[in-house]
């Protein structure tokens, strides 16, 4: 059977594949979601966040060494998390590959009431040797603009990070793993206030303040959102603009 992805086809019996970022699009604006998923409108692409990607790769590399050895990392031990060990699992590499999430063996689940296949790519999974559960881990990078501030998850842009974690815990539970409702964010905060020199003879060194933030997930929003998505996918016309749109005030129907 041909996989059902890209533009939605109402007559397809195959589960329709939606990544967590497309679900986030729906949460932010059902009209935008409809234009992309049903009308097939291509939105302008944005350049990749290459420095963030680099910190992800370097973190993964460090945690992979621990995974091979079955030990925790000194970063975790120093913060009292020595019971957390990067998980060894035959499919862990597949679970990290967001572009292929809909293929067999990758990170997804099918929600039967809507026939949606929901998935994505996780950054890491840690085994909790005390509880036997696993924790989903997400890496984030930033550079705070005010000195001395602790990283937190309490600003409006980070609501989407929380939804991402909520969704990934939900998916992994449905994949049959014993998953904790607690996920962890590892934050790399590029320190622009350091007194240490940046430029050396051959290289420049940026220092990152590191934090680990536990987050207790919730799943209450997921089911109603998936049902809402199914309704919008089957609608014959585009939903209205969102009243909370950041681009302006749109009080009339988009058509
Ligand atoms: S302009 Fe705003 S409300 Fe309208 S489709 Fe775009 S994001 Fe949504």
Ligand 1 pocket: which of 30, 245, 246 to mutate (most atoms within 8 A of CB): 245
pLDDT (0 to 100) of residue 252: 54
241 lines ligand 1 (CB under 6 A): yes
Cα–ligand 1 centroid distance for 9 (angstroms): 23
Record the pTM. 0.94
DSSP string, the chain: ---B-SS--TT--SPEEEEHHHHHHHHH-HHHHHHHHTS-PPPPP----HHHHHHHHHHHHHHHHHHHHT---HHHHTTT-TTEEEPP-TTHHHHT-GGGTTSTTSSEEEETTTTEEEE---SEEEEETTTS-EEEEEEEEE--SSTTPPP-S-SGGGHHHHHHHHHHHHHHHHTT--B-SEEEEEEEEE-TT--S-SB-SS-B---EEEEEEEEE---TTHHHHHHHHHHHHT-SSPPPPPTT-TT----S---
Atom of ligand 1 nearest to the CA of 241: 3
Helix orientation angle between 222-233 and 159-174, rounded to the nearest 10 degrees: 90
Q: What is the mean pLDDT of each run of 10 residues along the chain (255 residues)?
A: 92 96 94 96 88 96 98 97 97 96 97 98 98 98 92 90 98 98 97 95 96 98 98 95 78 52
Give the chain's length.
255
pLDDT (0 to 100) of residue 254: 46
25 lines ligand 1 (CB under 6 A): no
Q: Which residue has the least CA distance to atom 2 on ligand 1?
A: 245
159 lines ligand 1 (CB under 6 A): no
pLDDT (0 to 100) of residue 2: 85
Q: Residue ranges of the domains in the chain?
A: 1-46+101-119+222-255, 48-86+122-219
Atom of ligand 1 nearest to the CA of 246: 2
32 lines ligand 1 (CB under 6 A): yes
Ligand 1 pocket: which of 30, 31, 36 to mutate (most atoms within 8 A of CB): 31
43 lines ligand 1 (CB under 6 A): no
């Amino acid at each position: 059977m041909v996989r059902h992805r890209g533009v939605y086809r109402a007559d397809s019996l195959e589960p329709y594949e939606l990544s967590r970022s497309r679900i986030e699009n729906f949460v932010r604006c059902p009209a935008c979601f409809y234009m992309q998923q049903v009308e097939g409108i291509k939105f302008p692409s944005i350049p990749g966040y290459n420095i963030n990607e680099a910190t992800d790769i370097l973190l993964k590399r460090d945690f992979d060494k621990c995974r091979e050895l079955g030990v925790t990392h000194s970063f975790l031990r120093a913060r009292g998390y020595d019971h957390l060990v990067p998980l060894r699992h035959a499919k862990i590499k597949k679970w990290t590959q967001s572009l292929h999430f809909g293929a067999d063996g990758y990170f997804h689940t099918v929600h039967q009431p809507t026939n949606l296949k929901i998935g994505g790519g996780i950054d890491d999974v840690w085994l909790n040797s005390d509880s036997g559960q696993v924790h989903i881990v997400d890496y984030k990078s930033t550079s705070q603009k005010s000195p001395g501030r602790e990283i937190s998850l309490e600003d409006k842009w980070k609501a989407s990070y929380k939804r991402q974690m909520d969704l990934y815990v939900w998916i992994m539970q449905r994949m049959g793993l014993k998953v904790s409702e607690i996920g962890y964010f590892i934050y790399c905060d590029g320190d622009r206030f350091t007194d240490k020199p940046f430029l050396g003879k051959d290289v420049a060194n940026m220092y990152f303040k590191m934090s680990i933030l536990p987050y207790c997930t919730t799943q209450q929003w997921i089911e109603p959102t998936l049902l809402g998505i199914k309704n919008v996918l089957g609608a014959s016309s585009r939903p209205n603009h969102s009243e909370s749109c950041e681009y302006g005030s749109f009080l009339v129907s988009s058509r």
